[in-house]
Structure 1
Amino acid sequence: MSNYLSQYADAGLYTMQGRLGAPEEGRFQSFPRQGWRLEIERAAEIGLRGIEWIYDLFGEGVNPLETAAGREELRGMLAHQGVSVVSICADYFMDRPLLRCSAQENADLLERLEWLLSVCPELGVGRVVLPFVDASRIRDDVERDQVVASLRQVLTQAEHYGVELHLETDLDPQAFHELLVRLDHPLIKVNYDAGNSASLGYLPEDEFAAYGPRIGSFHIKDRRLGATTVPLGQGDADFRSLREQLIKYDYRGDFVLQVARGEAGDETSWLAGMADLACNWLRGEALNERKTS
């Protein structure tokens, strides 16, 4: 398994969309309305494997996912540059959560999610990441019931299109485990975010013990306890323990860079540097600079 991590590092990482261009309208993470084409070129330039595409409210009307012509253009650009989109981060459902809405709004949102699943095969997308954090966080048992009911409704479509649903939540390990027990389906998996877990004070060994076999994708990020995103190695993410857990549970999914931003205008070289740090970590080198200094 350790060899698998090294092989993955050599094969290249994915990046969260938007990290290879300046933030648009001051947004830390959003679909790059102006720069998505350039970002594909830059991903290839620094040797990234591909991009986790963002589908959000900010990009509505200009995201190429929305039309057949847009998807055809996107496929052509990806093929030309030799990069791929294997996952979609559906931040739309942070802007318009499946929770705390009317029955009609919930039905409309589920219809939109089913549409998003339907376009995935055209692009070779195998998973949709559904965030239940921040504005869309699950606050109590009633809302947990709503999430279970909603996801069960779209499972038939997920099966039809062969697309996994990866859940990103801020639930503690035991609560997340209990949610997953109720959603016992091979297409429902966990999106693990190293930075978010560090910010919440969760221990990797507790999280992996609770749902390690269900982790299907991994966001590489660093945050300080109770605080915001920082460059890799400067936060409280326990990367040494994380690597041990990945090996122990034989993780074989993807790794997506969702790292802190650098100086505006220096996005390409900054992300290349973060990618080097991440690849070295996958090969076994220490990453917690702040803790050892």
Structure 2
Amino acid sequence: MMTDYLSQYADAGLYTMQGRLVSPQQGRFQSFPREGWQLEIERAAEIGLRGIEWIYDVFGEGVNPLETEAGRDELRALLAQHGVSVVSICADYFMDRPLLRCTAQEHAELLQRLQWLLSICQELGVTRVVLPFVDASQIRDAAETEQVVASLRQVLPQAERHGIELHLETDLDPSAFRALLERLEHPLIKVNYDAGNSASLGYRPEEEFAAYGARIGSFHIKDRRLAATTVPLGQGDADFASLREQLLKFDYRGDFVLQVARGEAADEPRWLAEMAELASNWLRGTALNERKPS
């Protein structure tokens, strides 16, 4: 039964978005931790997390171990040493430099970079890349929808070659997102569901899951208030009770990644452990909105 899967998942440990176990870098809420990425792997193991969703972004260029063979060797060794896994990459690079609203030459270079990113995934055991189409990279109209469809179709052969799923994160309403997915009927194209972003936009879980629940492949655990920012789990407008019902209904079998609000600087491991406990208890059936972190 799906309930058993959720409980077993909670028992095995959650993933965390990279950067949540070290202090913010240059005041950034989310970015590759140029200073401390090695330490973050050790801390993830210490607080019982299963793994890390790695960030590939512009801020980390030049120091991200993904970029070089030596860096990937170092990363693999540290992951093995601490028993932590990286099965997903959050490609925020394409939020910093969107595949939209750019010149033809820029677009070609961006697609080439995405194809390179897909080509190195197997070395690290990565099975999915999350592509954000939110904020600076949001899809604004029908013409941009066409461009996204064309871009993804162009990189799908590379994804097939390496067996890498492409998980789309958008701020489209449920019907518009469903229409986009219908243009991309391919087993490697899935949805990255972000609980906080949906709450901020006022989307209802039952409507979202009815539109594309079977295509959801990964889940970001986050809480936000309506039309506002990220808050600690249980203190926002994410309807976690409904979300759990929908996960059960659609027999969700993917991963859960903590992309939670930050606590006090230099207190990251304790804070994330507390958020992980709240999230794990939610997976086991506790009404998360009734639990408030200290």
TM-score range, shorter chain: over 0.9
Q: Which residue of 2 aligns with 1:239?
A: 240
Cα distance in structure 2, aligned partners of 1:157 and 1:28: 31
Cα distance in structure 2, aligned partners of 1:2 and 1:197: 23
Look up the equivalent residue of 1:119 and give its one-letter code: I
What SS does structure 1 have at the residue aligned with 2:59? coil
Look up the equivalent residue of 1:206 and give its one-letter code: E
Cα distance in structure 2, aligned partners of 1:3 and 1:226: 34
Q: Which residue of 2 aligns with 1:96?
A: 97
Cα distance in structure 2, aligned partners of 1:167 and 1:151: 10
Look up the equivalent residue of 1:214 and give its one-letter code: R
Look up the equivalent residue of 1:278 and give its one-letter code: A
Q: Which residue of 2 aligns with 1:187?
A: 188
Q: Which residue of 2 aligns with 1:30?
A: 31
Deviations 1:155-178 (A, max 9, x none): 000000000000000000000000
Q: Which residue of 1 aligns with 2:220?
A: 219
Cα distance in structure 2, aligned partners of 1:289 and 1:18: 27
Shift of 1:290: 7.9
Q: Which residue of 1 aligns with 2:259?
A: 258
What SS does structure 2 have at the residue aligned with 1:256? strand
Cα distance in structure 1, aligned partners of 2:225 and 2:218: 22
* Residue pairs, 1:59-70, within 5 angstroms: 59-70=60-71
Deviations 1:209-234 (A, max 9, x none): 00000000000000000000000000
* Residue pairs, 1:74-223, within 5 angstroms: 74-223=75-224
Shift of 1:3: 1.1
Cα distance in structure 2, aligned partners of 1:48 and 1:4: 17
Unmatched 5+ stretches in structure 2? none
Cα distance in structure 1, aligned partners of 2:262 and 2:36: 16
Cα distance in structure 1, aligned partners of 2:25 and 2:199: 27
Give yes or no for contact 2:234–2:288 (8 Å, CA) kept in 1: yes
Number of equivalences: 291
What SS does structure 2 have at the residue aligned with 1:129? strand
What SS does structure 2 have at the residue aligned with 1:192? strand
What SS does structure 1 have at the residue aligned with 2:218? strand
Q: Which residue of 2 aligns with 1:280?
A: 281
Cα distance in structure 2, aligned partners of 1:78 and 1:190: 27
Cα distance in structure 1, aligned partners of 2:5 and 2:71: 35
Q: Which residue of 1 aligns with 2:53?
A: 52
Moved over 3 A (4+): none
Deviations 1:121-152 (A, max 9, x none): 00000000000000000000000000000000
Deviations 1:39-83 (A, max 9, x none): 000000000000000000000000000000000000000000000
Give yes or no for contact 1:235–1:290 (8 Å, CA) kept in 2: no
What SS does structure 1 have at the residue aligned with 2:288? coil
What SS does structure 2 have at the residue aligned with 1:288? helix
Cα distance in structure 2, aligned partners of 1:263 and 1:57: 25
* Residue pairs, 1:7-46, within 5 angstroms: 7-46=8-47
Look up the equivalent residue of 1:139 and give its one-letter code: R
Shift of 1:289: 2.9
Cα distance in structure 2, aligned partners of 1:3 and 1:158: 31
Give yes or no for contact 1:41–1:81 (8 Å, CA) kept in 2: yes
Cα distance in structure 1, aligned partners of 2:147 and 2:185: 16
What SS does structure 1 have at the residue aligned with 2:154? helix
Unmatched 5+ stretches in structure 1? none
TM-score, with length taken from structure 2: 0.98
TM-score, with length taken from structure 1: 0.99
What SS does structure 1 have at the residue aligned with 2:172? coil
Give yes or no for contact 2:278–2:291 (8 Å, CA) kept in 1: no
What SS does structure 2 have at the residue aligned with 1:270? helix
